Structure 1
Amino acid sequence: MLPALTMGDPAGIGPELTVKAWEILRRTGDAFLWIGDPVLLGEAPFEIVGHAEQAASIFPSAIPVMPLTLPGSVTPGQADSAMAGCVIDAIETATRLAITGQVSAIVTNPISKIVLKQGGFAFPGHTEFLASLCGVEGEEIMMLASPRLRVVPVTVHVSLREALDSLTTDRIVHVGATLAEALRRDFGLMAPRIAVAGLNPHAGEGGVMGHEEQTMIAPAIEAMRQAGIDASGPYPPDTLFTDLARPLYDAALCMYHDQALIPLKTLDMASGVNVTLGLPVVRTSPDHGTAFAIAGQGKADPASLLAAMRMARDLGARRAASKEVQS
């Protein structure tokens, strides 16, 4: 099987990235099925398919497309909330194909959260919507992964104030356990090492700069260790991502969004991949946004999408192998 790639925001760089990725991957045999309006593909060759299994044979010569129809014309770089419904349809179609086993994974091109919200979208982003579609609301965990670093934030698309208010020992343990299972099953790490970041400067400096490390994070680490998870910390966040520290763990468990994403994007944004853990299907995405400012100009770099496609292929294969062993 092969992954399904959604169109993302039609006015963003998703269509351009799709064509560039196809031009590269058609030579390697790493096929995908694209879900969207073929008008967005410009002059690139495409062929309409009715079933996902048709895509592999078509891929070397044309982009296999499961078509959707946009409600109007698109101007690159100009966001339009009228397109929200079609963007959502692409995500729903890809998820349905993955749940029913017709594709191996979902790869999502970037969406605009503002555009979707203006169009009536009720979710903070892709991750939460996919969890709802899969019937596992609240189980979704966001990982950002690259060859140089893997990070998982305990709290994600909320304000910093809300993140602090919602952080609990139980939540840290839940996210850590989901991360450990994903590292074993999907990433092939039989004894994963998880480094847990502190919340406060210097990890609280023994309570002088904050008490959450002592009252909340350390008990979560101990609970994870009691459950057989190799978790350690809490570590000062300002030294956790240095060249000396990173080889000592397989993933960093961080307390809030920017604590996790800033180091990943600084170190390796071009190869960064957004992976959703806690779903019954594999989902990856490029580690960047719609880039409306350069849409339609031929400047978009497909490196992160290609990394997302490769990771979807590898995770999908390991997930399938794991299911075979269990059966």
Structure 2
Amino acid sequence: MKIIIPMAGRGSRLRPHTLTIPKPLLPVAGKPIVQRIVEDLAEALSEPVEEVAFIIGDFGKAAEEQLRGIAAGIGAKASIYTQDEPLGPGHAVLCAKPSLSGNCIVAFADTLFKANFAFDPSEDGIIWVQRVEDPSSFGVVKTNEANVITEFVEKSPTFVSDMAIVGLYYFRDGDRLRDTLQHIVEEDIRDKGEYQLTTALELLKNGGVQFRPSLIEEWLDCGNKDNVVATNRRMLQLKDGKEALVADSVMVENAVIIPPCYIGENTVIRNSVVGPHVSLGHNSTVEQSVISDAVIQNETQIRHANISKAMLGNFVSFEGEPAAVSIGDYSEHK
């Protein structure tokens, strides 16, 4: 099995955090978003993952090495591909052309999921979906009585179906997906100005490939600050008791940690209350503060503060009044 992860988007709705870190590498409950996707899929699959192909932008060597480490963590080979132009999700997947063969899962690194990922790999294809109240902003599927998908529709202004595609797909024949995407690009077949993956799905369906939908339990968005904070809260709830969330090296002096929280290595908490639902990165210091419902990255200093529903980056110094802030790396607030 191969996992293909398109993640070249700029993450502009999450600025300033994505000015220094690609969105899929932002931490949620102590781990990068993309790492959680890879690990959750690898744990659920009935066969080993041999390769993880990441399609990235100009992320730099440090980010590439981090991605290689994520693949190595599940015993898989890492392949790194670059999407130089934002030409659509179908084009992004095709950027991993050398890796598109055999059984493949395509997982876009925009969201996290709570789902039963078990499936029969002999199926032609599986499209994971969730029912939504307003499907106009999503690609959706229609099915027949046999629960086979009959139509893929990209962001229709009129109602077609409430089963939204969440960005997770299984293909038994990755070679055929590759050739179909290549045909779309060579023939310049665009929808809404871009090369869409749903166009390939429709062509594959018309060529005899049978896709079935699989409903997910929860769809956890990471598109903006408030959504990342909410997703962090939910992931901490789900992982509490299943992962070691507070490092042994954390120093707590006259302070209280209200679980669930993730607290990184060598972090110091003095005269403070931290939690619930806080992710606090390594080598950070919290003094005389109250923090809840927040995502705080590494090497950050917080003093005399009351913080909730906030995101703070790496190497931040924060001191001040109650706030629901979003502060990027290397910033100071007093």
Q: TM-score scaled to structure 1, two decimals?
A: 0.30
- The higher radius of gyration belongs to 2
Q: TM-score scaled to structure 2, two decimals?
A: 0.30
Q: Which has the higher strand share?
A: 2
